[in-house]
Amino acid sequence: MTSIIQFRIPTGEVRKVDAADGETVMRAALSQDIPGIVGECGGELTCATCHVHVTPEWFDQLEPASGDEEDMLEVLDDRTEHSRLCCQIRITPDLDGIEVAVPEH
């Protein structure tokens, strides 16, 4: 099964990417060269180069961030109440259509 992830990039354009269930949003972004998602640490929660702002209606459907993710989010200048590190968001059928915005860096 695959689900659609919608990435709103800083130009305002929305790019749709197919992601396999179980894949992280970060991996899906890298596979399609979504600008602004670097994923430097490979999902080890040490870089925060996978920061996104999740659309509020989708944010509430995510598993809460772990303590380690919270620690990384805390140091970001452009953190909002809907910030997540997208290497920690694993796609499930319930998340089909999820929209995330890539902050300007």
Q: Which residues would be at the binding site for ligand FES (CB under 6 A)?
A: 26, 39-41, 43, 45-50, 72, 85, 87
Structure token digits, residue 14: 């929305």
| Identity of the residue, 13 or 75, whose beta carbon is nearer to ligand FES in the bound complex | 75
3-state class (DSSP) for residue 93: helix
Residue 98 CB, shortest distance to ligand FES, in Å, is: 16
DSSP state, residue 41:
T
Residue 13 CB, shortest distance to ligand FES, in Å, is: 23
| Identity of the residue, 1 or 40, whose beta carbon is nearer to ligand FES in the bound complex | 40
Q: Which DSSP helix (H) or strand (E) runs through 90?
A: none
**Max Cα-Cα span within the chain:** 36
DSSP state, residue 104:
P
Residue type (1 letter), 75: V
Residue nearest to ligand FES (CB): 87
Residue 37 CB, shortest distance to ligand FES, in Å, is: 8
